[in-house]
Amino acid sequence: MAEQNGMEKPDLQALPTINDRMTFLYLEHCKIHREDGAITARDLEGTLYIPAAAITVLLLGPGTDISHRAMELIGDTGISVIWVGEHGVRYYAHGRALNSHSTLLEKQAKLVSNTRKHLDVVRKMYEMRFADADVSGMTLQQLRGREGARMRKIYREQAKKWDVSWDGRKYDAEDFSASDPVNQALSAGNVCLYGLASAVITALGCAPSLGFIHVGHEFSFAYDIADLYKAEVTIPLAFELAAEEPPDLPNIMRRRVRNVFSETKLLERMVKDVKYLLQESQPQEQQEVVYLWDNLKEHVEYGISYGKYEEEI
């Protein structure tokens, strides 16, 4: 077999951290390949070169054709890939984590599986939405009720501000055009928010499926994290654009959401918020760490023989 050209697979330490990357890039109607360390997107107007390690999420819209070599580079550099239909909101794949330790994943699993600690994380998530309100004495049912009232108020305020008709969050994933303009904009913007949340979670080595408020779905934790920012990012933009009535609302919404991501440094906030929720106080170095589990010492050193020569057969 002929030798393949291209850059060598990068070490994890050589990759930019999740904080230093662009949020997401949307491509459609093009052929995607790779040239050394860059992803190339070619259409009738020419070729675009995209530094692979500078992207967090790659949204692939209709008419995209991607090569195996490009996917290899995407996997090695930790990019999350989302295939979407013309107006779809489907998440299909993600790249590898940008770290090589399981510290946060282990903490996430422990918090999810312990009822008291699980509830503590849920409370922290609601506290982040309710600003300075004290929710320590509220039950989970009361918290859900208060959150529902908060969201209904936000929707009403935005509808009044932009003089847009609003009859609730209604959408059909199989029929995008059946929704009103506000709901179309919300769907288009939220998929970008879910993609960014999934990318951050994966890059930190956590599991998108182990959620706290949302459970039972492969992206439950991504929905948890994304919900922290909808009131300040996608909801105001959706009503504003619905009032403006642009000719290509989904595309305009994606671009405006991307601008807000950059202006508010949302990617950096997500990283900090995920670590805060999972109680990580000390940064972890990116290094290869493997231990052997031990029921008495928690873990013991890997890579040495624990057998005695006289016991060998």
Residues 128 and 264 occupy one common structural domain: yes
Residues 27 and 156 occupy one common structural domain: no
Determine the pLDDT at residue 7: 47
Determine the pLDDT at residue 42: 94
For residues 91 and 77, what is the distance between their CA atoms, to the nearest angstrom?
19
Residues 168 and 50 occupy one common structural domain: no
Q: Note whether residue 56 is domain-resident.
A: yes
Give the residue-averaged pLDDT of 51-56. Answer: 79
Torsion angle in degrees (nearest 10) through CA of 266, 226, 16, 206: 150
Residues 48 and 159 occupy one common structural domain: no
Q: Note whether residue 98 is domain-resident.
A: no
| Domain that includes residue 61, residue range | 12-83
Q: What does the pLDDT look like over 249-288, one tens digit per residue?
A: 988 998 999 899 888 989 889 989 999 999 865 444 444 4
Determine the pLDDT at residue 88: 46
Give the residue-averaged pLDDT of 208-214. Answer: 95
pTM of the model: 0.71
Q: Where are the beta strands (DSSP E) in the chain?
A: 22-27, 30-35, 38-43, 46-51, 55-60, 64-66, 80-83, 291-294, 298-301
Q: What does the pLDDT look like over 154-202, one tens digit per residue?
A: 999 999 999 999 999 987 767 777 789 999 999 989 988 998 898 889 8
Residues 226 and 155 occupy one common structural domain: yes
Residues 50 and 148 occupy one common structural domain: no
Q: Which residues are annotated as a binding site?
A: 147, 214, 227
Give 131's contacts (C-beta < 8 A, 6+ positions apart).
Answer: none
Query: Which of 195, 210, 199, 194 has the alpha carbon at shortest distance from 278?
Result: 210
CATH at 76: 3.100.10.20
For residues 107 and 206, what is the distance between their CA atoms, to the nearest angstrom?
9
Q: Note whether residue 117 is domain-resident.
A: yes
CATH at 273: 1.20.120.920
Residues 133 and 69 occupy one common structural domain: no
Determine the pLDDT at residue 15: 41
Q: Which residues are annotated as a binding site for Mn(2+)?
A: 147, 214, 227
* Neighbour count for residue 146 (Cβ, 10 Å): 16
End of a domain among 21, 51, 83?
A: 83
Provide the number of structural domains found in the chain.
2
Residues 148 and 247 occupy one common structural domain: yes
